[in-house]
Amino acid sequence: MRSSYVLSSPKPRKIIRYNSSKNITGFPLHKDRISTFSYTPSKLTRNLISSEQFKIEPIVYNVEFLQSWSSTSEISCSSVWFLDEQRFRIQPMLIKSNYPIDQDMLNKVSDNTLIKTQSINGLKYTYGEKKYENLILTFYFTPFAEPRFCRVWNSPSTSASSVKRFKISLGYTEIVQGEVPQDYGTEVSLIHYRPMSLRSKLQISQVFIDYYRTPVIDKYGAVPLIKHDSIVFEFLKNYGADKMFGLNGIELFDKNLELIPPSDISEIYLEGTINFTNPLTLVNRDEKTGEFSNPFMMEVLKSDICPKIRIEFKEPKVISFVRFFNAKIAGYNNIGIKICRIKIDENNSFVIKFGKSEVVETALNDLSAIKRQIKI
Adjacent-strand bridge partners of 342: 233, 350
CA distance linking residue 210 with residue 224, whole number of Å: 9
Q: What are φ and ψ of residue 142, in 5° steps?
A: -70, 145
CA distance linking residue 229 with residue 11, whole number of Å: 11
Class of domain 228-373: mainly beta
- Residue 250: the pLDDT is 96
Structural domain boundaries in the chain: 27-225, 228-373
pLDDT means over runs of 10, the chain (376 residues): 35 30 32 30 32 59 92 89 88 88 89 79 80 86 83 84 91 86 86 59 58 44 67 94 93 87 93 91 86 90 91 90 90 91 77 89 60 42
Distance of CA 262 to the CA centre of its chain: 26
- Residue 156: the pLDDT is 79
Using one digit for the tens of pLDDT, what is the confidence trace for 118-145?
A: 767 889 888 866 666 889 999 998 877 7
Query: By C-alpha distance, which of 133, 204, 212, 151 is closest to 173?
Result: 204
- Residue 26: the pLDDT is 33
Using one digit for the tens of pLDDT, what is the confidence trace for 45-95?
A: 333 333 343 445 788 899 999 999 988 888 999 999 999 888 888 999 889
> Any idea what DSSP says for residue 347?
S
- Residue 42: the pLDDT is 28
- Residue 228: the pLDDT is 85
CA distance linking residue 326 with residue 324, whole number of Å: 6
Cα first-last separation, the chain: 26
- Residue 168: the pLDDT is 93
- Residue 206: the pLDDT is 59
CA distance linking residue 233 with residue 307, whole number of Å: 8
- Residue 99: the pLDDT is 85
